[in-house]
Amino acid sequence: MPRNKTTAAPSKAEQWLQLDQQLCFALYASSLAMTKLYKPLLEPLGLTYPQYLVMLVLWEADGISVSTLGQRLSLDSGTLTPLLKRLEAGALINRRRAQDDERRVDIFLSDAGRALKAQAVGIPPQLACASACSLDELVSLTRRLHELRKQLSGANLSSLNHHSL
């Protein structure tokens, strides 16, 4: 049915249903754009973006447990295990059962995994340049996104009041 030219403007509540008003879409589209930018930068390192995230955590804290790594990356073991298997097959990490608790698997960087860090050092400045943001802007945006994630993780939808913004 053709749209009537005299259609009333959307109500304030209906405006929130417009795609460009959706925070979730802005975050999703930005994430896609970021991942697309990373792809050619990570290719020479032989890493996918999720593998790069794993390596970032291990470069900070080598020898951590799989469960700690999963917490840091907000990934479950079903997602993390195949990533770790590919990194181990690529000789970048080693997985070992903890000596004090055989139920725990710890992850250690190999020499090649540690050496890869020197190649990765140039990636963040390239992304910062592509963002056209100052360092202060990037730090502020990153901090705010961490705060938002924490707030969203702690939100209880059943107790939220329906209110207008």
Query: What are the tens digits of pLDDT across the range 57-107?
Result: 999 999 999 999 999 999 998 999 999 999 999 999 999 998 888 889 999
Residue 96's pLDDT is 93
Distance of CA 132 to the CA centre of its chain: 20
We report the CATH number of the domain holding residue 86 as: 1.10.10.10
Q: Is residue 133 part of a domain?
A: no
Q: Is residue 109 part of a domain?
A: yes
147 pLDDT higher than 90 = yes
More confident residue, 164 or 121: 121
Q: Is residue 74 part of a domain?
A: yes
- Average pLDDT of the chain to the nearest whole number: 91
**Cα dist. 86→8, 52, 79 in Å?**
55, 12, 12
Between CA 109 and CA 88 the distance in angstroms is: 9
Domain that holds residue 60: 48-120
Count of domains in the chain? 1
Q: Is residue 82 part of a domain?
A: yes
pTM, to two decimals: 0.84
Q: Is residue 3 part of a domain?
A: no
SS (H, E, C) 77-131: HHHHHHHHHHHHHCCCEEEEECCCCCCCEEEEECHHHHHHHHHHCCHHHHHHHHH
Q: Is residue 42 part of a domain?
A: no
Q: What is the mean pLDDT of residues 37-53?
A: 96
| Helices vs strands, H then E, count in the chain | 8, 3
Q: Is residue 112 part of a domain?
A: yes
More confident residue, 117 or 160: 117
Q: Which two tokens stand for residue 98?
A: 């903890």
Residues 149 and 24: beta-carbon distance below 8 Å = no
Q: Is residue 32 part of a domain?
A: no
